[in-house]
Amino acid sequence: MTKKKAYETNDSEKLELFMEALGITEEPMGIYYTDKTPATGFTPKKQISLSRLPEESDGEMNWISCVLGKIRRARREKAAAYFDQEHYGCLGGAFFMGFKSYYEDFEPSLLAAGIPGKMDGEQYVDSPEVGKIFYDTFKPPKATGSVLVIQPLSLFNENEQPELVVFFPDRKAMIGLNALTVFLTSDPEAIQMPFGQGCCGLISWPRRFLQEGKTKAVIGAFDINCLKYLKNNELTYTIPFNFFLDMLEKWPGSLLGTKAWKRIKNSPTKG
């Protein structure tokens, strides 16, 4: 795997120009694992440690604390969102963040029609068996640190380099990012939109592609449960950090540097 590059001071200046070219005002966020808990930021309510589940569960689990909820707060406050073995939001999030090596028995049914009398299903797949195939074959990459941190790039110091970078683009910015991704990779399949819950598309799929040595951009946030944590017409677009640095250097030679793009970027959006 290619060695990580550093995010340096002059990269922030390049990022401002890149954001202006894309037509976005929100700084992207970096995703990385560490063994150091941030001094400040937002984290889910403390729960039973994953190492003690399920034997010591007392039914007080917080099943509905979405990872995207803490990320939304971090975006608003330009702060860190962070997660660990006791602050994971929900068990599905713990699985997709790589803190938990197994999925719960009910989760394949949740993707399907649910469990009669106990739980409504989401109907993403037509049977629990298909849901089980997804969970059995996906296997999110394991966490490489005790804490997962997602924070604006400007909060990183020289000892904290992200593994991934995530944008939250609207339709126009998505067009620009897609065009630039293909321009830099010469790969018409460099943009992937695989099935998965919100944190799966945001974290798990991008990490899986990266560990496989593939340069892929992953579009996510198709989980109906995470829509309330995003703005209208907004998705997630996650890329490897090294690829992000290439974007900062080379975007002027792509569609983003053309007069046609500037006209489209600056034109009002039709309702």
Using one digit for the tens of pLDDT, what is the confidence trace for 116-128? 888 899 999 999 9
CA-based nearest residue to 243, from 172, 182, 158, 175: 182
**Per-residue pLDDT averaged across 11-28, rounded?**
95
Answer whether 5's CB lies under 8 Å from 248's CB.
Answer: no
Check residue 63 and give its pLDDT: 57
Asked if the structure places residue 80 within a domain, the reply is yes
| Structural tokens at position 268 | 């009002």
Domain assignment of residue 190, given as a range:
9-101+142-266
Asked if the structure places residue 110 within a domain, the reply is no
Asked if the structure places residue 133 within a domain, the reply is no
**Per-residue pLDDT averaged across 78-91, rounded?**
95
At a CB cut-off of 8 Å and minimum separation 6, what does 136 contact?
none
Give me the number of domains the chain comprises.
1
**Per-residue pLDDT averaged across 229-250, rounded?**
96
11, 29, 164, 173, 241 from 2: Cα distances, Å: 19, 21, 13, 28, 11
User: CA–CA separation, 204 vs 137, rounded Å?
Assistant: 13
Share of the chain above pLDDT 70, in %: 91
Asked if the structure places residue 123 within a domain, the reply is no
Q: Is 265 helix (H, G, I), strand (E, B) or coil?
A: helix
Asked if the structure places residue 108 within a domain, the reply is no
7, 26, 190, 241 from 238: Cα distances, Å: 17, 15, 12, 9
* pTM of the predicted structure, to 2 decimals: 0.91
Of residues 42 and 226, more confidently modeled = 42
Could you tell me the maximum CA-CA distance found in the chain, to the nearest angstrom?
62
Asked if the structure places residue 256 within a domain, the reply is yes
Asked if the structure places residue 122 within a domain, the reply is no
Using one digit for the tens of pLDDT, what is the confidence trace for 155-174? 998 878 999 999 999 999 99
Asked if the structure places residue 254 within a domain, the reply is yes
Q: Is 33 helix (H, G, I), strand (E, B) or coil?
A: strand
| Structural tokens at position 186 | 């010469």
CA quadruple 89, 233, 221, 6: dihedral sign: negative
What is the band of 65 on the pLDDT scale with cuts at 50, 70, 90? confident
